[in-house]
């Protein structure tokens, strides 16, 4: 059996078009477009690429993109000042501080300083807590994108399925587990200290791979017919981009699988635009 390839690029394009349509209505009703501020500290090339593509996608959706760059050696106070300025700016609906931050800055302090109503990353403890308790929240973009792909793959019928999330980060693993629980999956979170990760993966109908290690999940770990969502984006020494799953082997066993690139990645940016629109609509009432 060869898996169905889940086309994240196409799903993301549809979501972006949907957001752009709503942005047009928002602008006509409110008299301005939603605004997203992206803050980049330092010169990390990968972060620079992400920030540029977020800005481009924001403008393509008809929203206002504000990019603020700060030098790598700024102190935490200067960044907190900028966050506070953006919190107070009525034209800004979403604030995203690109991670990772330089070591002299406490990332949790910066995330905690963002107005939860503008926290389009969904990383603020208030949004994490709202997600965990089933209240409306701004939800982290990558897991939200994964959930959208899964809901489509299963025609909305996720209840009762066994899901394993491999990885326990605040950005992907933990919110992903909460979202799956919210859709009534039976959820296991596996991580670096889990005994026999392979056995956990073998029993799962849904596998979310978010460990950041190339080819960590072997093809023979996958239960025949399972759905595999690969969040990993790893660059090999030869320049190739690969996920956390051994795709060539897994595609022969899985029922459906996301490719890397072209799977989860495009959904993350589309969900950022969606979150910015949601934040703008909630702020304007
Ligand atoms: N760095 C890598 N992924 C992300 C993300 O989703 N949000 C932010 N702010 N930084 C990141």
- The model's pLDDT over 51-87, given as tens digits with 9 standing for 90+, comes to 999 999 999 999 999 999 999 999 999 999 999 999 9
Strands (E), the chain: 4-5, 35-41, 64-70, 94-97, 162-166, 186-190, 206-209, 227-230, 234-235, 241-242, 256-257
Catalytic residue among 119, 121, 244, 246: 121
Residues with CB under 6 Å of ligand 1 are 96-99, 121, 141-142, 171
Output 271 or 1, whichever has higher pLDDT.
271
Q: pLDDT-derived band of residue 165, with 50, 70 and 90 as boundaries?
A: very high
The answer to whether residues 232 and 209 touch, using CB atoms and an 8 Å cutoff, is: yes
What would the pLDDT profile of 20-38 be if each residue is shown by its tens digit?
A: 999 999 999 999 999 999 9
User: How many other CB atoms are there within 10 angstroms of residue 159's CB atom?
Assistant: 10
Can you state the percent helix, strand and coil of the chain, rounding each to 5?
A: 45, 15, 40
Task: Read off the pLDDT band of 273 (50, 70, 90).
Answer: very high
The protein residue whose alpha carbon is closest to atom 4 in ligand 1 is 99
Q: What is the pLDDT of residues 250-259, one digit of tens each?
A: 999 999 999 9
Q: How would residue 1 be classed by pLDDT, with cut points 50, 70 and 90?
A: confident
Left if phi > 0, otherwise alpha if psi is -120 to 50, otherwise beta: which for 212? Answer: left
**32-117 matches 140-265 in fold:** yes
Alpha carbon 66 to its chain centroid, in Å, reads: 20
| Chain mean pLDDT for the chain | 98
Pocket test for ligand 1, best of 38, 44, 121, 175 (most atoms within 8 A of CB): 121
Q: Is 9 a catalytic residue?
A: no
E strand intervals along 47-198: 64-70, 94-97, 162-166, 186-190
The pLDDT of 110-123, averaged and rounded, is: 98
User: Cα dihedral sign for 176, 182, 183, 188?
Assistant: positive
Q: Which atom of ligand 1 is nearest to the CA of 96?
A: 9
Q: What is the CATH number of domain 32-117?
A: 3.40.50.10860
Q: Which pLDDT belongs to residue 43? A: 94
- What percentage of residues in the chain have a pLDDT greater than 70? 100
Domain layout of the chain by residue ranges: 32-117, 140-265
168 is in an annotated binding site: yes
- State how beta strands 162-166 and 206-209 pair: parallel
- Position 285 scores a pLDDT of 82
Distance (Å) from CA 160 to ligand 1 centroid: 31
Cα separation, 145 vs 179, in Å, equals 11
Query: Closest Cα partner for 275 from 50, 163, 124, 79?
Result: 124
Tell me which DSSP letter residue 16 carries.
H
CATH 3.40.50.720, applies to 140-265:
yes
**How many angstroms separate the CA atoms of 140 and 271, rounded?**
8
Residue 240 has pLDDT above 80, yes or no: yes
Neighbours of 100 (CB within 10 A): 12
pLDDT of residue 94: 99
Q: List all residues 6 or more positions away from 202 whose beta carbon is below 8 Å from its beta carbon.
A: 221, 222, 223
């Amino acid at each position: 059996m060869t898996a169905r390839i889940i086309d994240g690029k196409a799903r993301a394009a549809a979501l972006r078009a949907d957001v752009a349509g709503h942005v047009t209505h928002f602008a006509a009703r409110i008299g301005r477009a939603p605004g997203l501020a992206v803050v980049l500290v330092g010169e990390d090339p990968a972060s620079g690429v992400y920030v540029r593509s977020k800005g481009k996608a924001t403008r393509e959706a008809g929203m206002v993109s504000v990019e603020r760059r700060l030098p790598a050696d700024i102190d935490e106070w200067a960044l907190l000042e900028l966050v506070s300025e953006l919190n107070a700016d009525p034209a800004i609906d979403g604030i995203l501080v690109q991670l990772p931050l330089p070591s002299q800055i406490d990332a949790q302090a910066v995330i905690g300083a963002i107005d939860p109503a503008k926290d389009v990353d969904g990383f603020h403890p208030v949004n994490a807590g709202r997600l965990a308790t089933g209240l409306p929240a701004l939800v982290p973009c990558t897991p939200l994108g994964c959930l959208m792909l899964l809901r489509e793959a299963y025609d909305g019928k996720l209840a009762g399925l066994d899901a394993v999330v491999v990885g326990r980060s605040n950005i992907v693993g933990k919110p992903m587990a909460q979202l799956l629980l919210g859709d009534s999956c039976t959820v296991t979170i596996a991580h670096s200290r889990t005994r026999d990760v392979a056995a956990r993966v073998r029993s799962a109908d849904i596998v979310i791979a978010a460990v950041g290690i190339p080819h960590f999940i072997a093809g023979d770990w996958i239960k025949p017919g399972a759905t595999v969502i690969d969040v990993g984006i790893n660059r090999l020494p030869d320049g190739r981009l690969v996920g956390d799953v051994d795709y060539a082997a897994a595609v022969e066993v899985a029922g459906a699988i996301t490719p890397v690139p072209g799977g989860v990645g495009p959904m993350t940016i589309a969900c950022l635009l969606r979150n910015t629109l949601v934040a703008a609509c909630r702020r304007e009432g």
